[in-house]
Amino acid sequence: MALRLRPSSALLPSADALAVRWGDALLLTGRILLAWLFLASGYGALNNLAGTAAYLSSLGVSPPVPLAWFTAIFELVLGVALVLGLATRYAALAAFAWVLITIVTAHRYWTYPAAQRGGRYVNFLKNLSIVGGALSVVAGGRDVTR
C-alpha cells in the first residue's frame, strides 16, 4: 500500500514541498540520528563489558555476562543496519522492541524514590520518543537496495 502525500494544510505548502523534495535525505538523516544512539550504546557496552554485566546483574537480569555481550553486539548491528539502510524496517522493528524491553527492565522511573523520579521520568519519555522514531522508520524507511 503506497502512501500518498496530501497537503497537510493550505498554510504549510512549503513543508509539504520540503517533504517531497528532500524526503529521502530526511529519512536518511532520521535513520542516522536514531542509529547514533545504538552505535554509541553498543560501543560503550563493548568497551565496558564488566560494567554492563554488573548493571544487568543489578537489575536481576541473568546471565549477565553473555547478555552484556549480546547487548553490545545487538546494538552495534542495529546501528549499522539503520545507517546503511539494510533491512531497514526489520532493524527499526527490532529497535522498537529492544527499547520497549529496556524501558520495562531498566528504565522503570516509578520504582525510584520521589526525589529521583522526575529525572528518571524524563529519561522514560525520551525512550518513548525513541520508540516513536523507530515506528516512523518502520512506516517510511526504505532499504538502500530498493
User: Does residue 120 belong to any structural domain of this protein?
Assistant: yes
User: Does residue 59 belong to any structural domain of this protein?
Assistant: yes
User: Does residue 145 belong to any structural domain of this protein?
Assistant: no
User: Does residue 51 belong to any structural domain of this protein?
Assistant: yes
Q: How many domains does the chain have?
A: 1
User: Does residue 4 belong to any structural domain of this protein?
Assistant: no
Cβ neighbour number for residue 72 with a 10 Å cutoff: 20
* pLDDT score of 73 more than 70: yes
Cα dist from 101 to 6, 9, 97, whole Å = 35, 37, 6
User: Does residue 15 belong to any structural domain of this protein?
Assistant: no
Q: pLDDT per residue over 12-52, tens digit each? A: 667 778 878 888 888 889 999 999 999 999 999 999 999 99
User: Does residue 12 belong to any structural domain of this protein?
Assistant: no
Cβ neighbour number for residue 4 with a 10 Å cutoff: 5
Contact 53, 102 (CB under 8 A): no
* Phi and psi angles of residue 48, each rounded to the nearest 5 degrees, phi first: -140, 60
Domain of 43 in residue numbering reads as: 24-140
- How far, in whole angstroms, is CA 139 from its chain's centroid? 14
pTM of the model: 0.81
User: Does residue 84 belong to any structural domain of this protein?
Assistant: yes
